[in-house]
Amino acid sequence: MASNLEESIFRSLTRREAEDLINAVKHDKYWKVSPKDKDFIFVVALSRARVKSRRGMYAKATHVKRVEVIKEAAKFCRRWRILLVDKRRMLAVSVLTWRAFNKIVSKGMGSIIRFILLHGTLPPYINEKALSKMLESYYVEGV
């Protein structure tokens, strides 16, 4: 059953995107949200968020090994998805799809995501559609 789930996740990705995602897990990767800020990072989720904690649920992830995921985002946490983690609190505040994450990184929008996060309007789940709507509301062109 687990292999069927993984296959369905990779079905929506190109071969290169799937290879990039697998290599990120193999090499325990993380990415800074903003080049100047070390407080927020992106990591790859390695498990669902199922074990209860006082601030939400625990999930396994690359680089940080175990992280708490806020309750609102925990229901979207799945293996192979990207978690936006506040390193100071060791708390995942949002879950992203690989494609939404790629768009953020490739277009250098990390600073905008950080700004939205600090102003408390970041949704718990971000896919391409949600990312476009979110950036539209902040008047960012070219998305």
- pLDDT, tens digit, for every residue of 54-91? 999 999 999 999 999 999 999 999 999 999 999 999 99
Q: Are 55 and 49 contacting, i.e. CB atoms less than 8 angstroms apart?
A: no
pLDDT band at 10 (very low <50, low <70, confident <90, very high): confident
Residue 119 included in any domain = yes
Residue 9 has pLDDT above 80, yes or no: no
Q: Is residue 143 included in any domain, yes or no?
A: no
Q: How many domains does the chain have?
A: 1
Q: Does residue 28 lie within any of the structural domains?
A: yes
Does some domain include residue 142? no
* 26 is a domain residue: yes
Residue 42 belongs to a domain? yes
Identify the CA nearest to 109 among candidates 61, 76, 64, 142: 142
Exposed/middle/buried for residue 85 (C-beta within 10 Å: 0-12, 13-18, 19+)? buried
On the question of pLDDT at 18 being above 60, the answer is yes
Q: Give me Rg for the CA atoms of the chain.
A: 14
What pLDDT, on a 0 to 100 scale, did the predictor assign at position 40? 96
Instruction: Provide the phi-psi class of 5: left if phi over 0, else alpha when psi is between -120 and 50, else beta.
Output: alpha
pTM of the model: 0.88
Evaluate whether residue 53 is within a structural domain: yes
What is the per-residue pLDDT for 121? 83
State the residue range of the domain holding 105.
2-137
Confidence of residue 2 (pLDDT cuts 50, 70, 90): very low
Instruction: Scan for tokens 């790859």, then name that residue.
Output: 44
